[in-house]
Amino acid sequence: MREEAARAARNRAAAPRAARLIAPLLVFLLLAAGWQWVAFNLKSILPSLQSVGLELLARPGFYLGHLWVTLSAALSGFAIGSAIGILLAILIVHFSVLRAAILPVALMLNVTPVVAISPALIVAFGFNAVPHIIVAAISAFLPMLINALTGLRAIDRDAQDVFRSLSASKMETLWHLRLPSSLPHLFAGARLAIAAAMVGSIVSEFMGTSKGIGATIIMATAYLNLPQMWVSIFVSALTSLLLIGLVDLAERALIRWS
């Protein structure tokens, strides 16, 4: 009886997991079928999936080389933007007067189109990786700032009272209470920031460079090379998903350890 009950419980647990796998697979199959229909009937809009796959298999080194350029700038910008966002969030939490000074500037940076500031950065820093890193950092900055600020403030009031009763310093409260409590918010911000940094890095490559995934998209557009364009788009999308997955793994490992 116990074995049958355990087997039934395992079957019930496996059913939702199977549904979570089958549902997105069906959606992807439907999207692929729709894509192929459009590619067959409107060849000037979409290439066939076969031609996209053959393009990637024919030149994997070409796309990996350009991806590395984009990824390097995105990760560097993510690290810089996230660090600045967390640091400013800590300052705002402890010195509330800074909120009115920092948040309007952060919002202004966030709503400024990166395409508009890329030429100015190229003029200032030249045709190298620095402008792309700056754009990626700006893109990652606000998501991390907002989530870090929310997490650092969302602490248990009773725990805060305990720290006050023990005469804990601001640094001790930050290190032992605020930062551990804010981990879910920080990782949520990291997921948004890493994706934003990747997008910012790609968009910044639309001008002023011949390297990077953004540059391959522009080259494909100029020569009407639809397979190259869509390989570049798929490679960038899959890379962004992989980076978000790595952030998820880091969150699970760190929270389980802590």
Q: What is the pLDDT of residue 210?
A: 83
- Full domain range(s) for residue 1: 1-46
In this predicted structure, what is the pLDDT of residue 179? 82
What's the pLDDT at 15? 56
Which tens digits make up the pLDDT trace of 111-122? 778 778 888 888
Count of structural domains, the chain: 2
| Cβ-based neighbours of 3, under 8 Å, separated by 6 or more | none
Cα distance between residue 107 and residue 112, in whole Å: 9
CATH classification of the domain holding 62: 1.10.3720.10
199 and 137 Cβ atoms separated by less than 8 Å? no
CA–CA distance from 134 to each of 124, 147, 232 (Å)? Answer: 12, 21, 22
pLDDT digits (tens, 9 = 90+) for 72-107: 999 999 999 999 999 999 998 888 778 878 888 888
For residue 151, the number of C-alpha atoms closer than 13 Å in the C-beta half-sphere is: 25
Is 56 found in the same domain as 32? no
Whether residues 219 and 143 share a domain: the answer is yes
Q: Give dist(CA 93, CA 145) in Å, integer.
A: 11
Query: Do residues 220 and 148 share a domain?
Result: yes
Q: Are residues 72 and 93 in the same domain?
A: yes
pLDDT given for residue 138 in this prediction: 92
Question: Do residues 139 and 202 touch, judged by C-beta distance below 8 A?
Answer: no
> Do 196 and 173 reside in the same domain of the chain?
yes
How far is the CA of 34 from the CAs of 28, 37, 228, 244, in angstroms?
10, 5, 20, 27
190 & 66 share domain: yes
Give the per-residue pLDDT at 128: 87
Check whether residue 63 and residue 26 sit in a common domain: no
Looking at the fold, whether 37 and 80 belong to one and the same domain comes out as no
23 and 55 belong to one structural domain:
no
Same domain, 17 and 71: no
Residues 149 and 210 reside in one and the same domain:
yes
7 and 95 share a domain?
Answer: no
CA 82, CA 191: separation in Å to the nearest integer? Answer: 11
Spans of the chain below 50 pLDDT: none
Show the DSSP H helices in 154-225 as ranges: 157-165, 170-173, 179-181, 183-204, 213-222
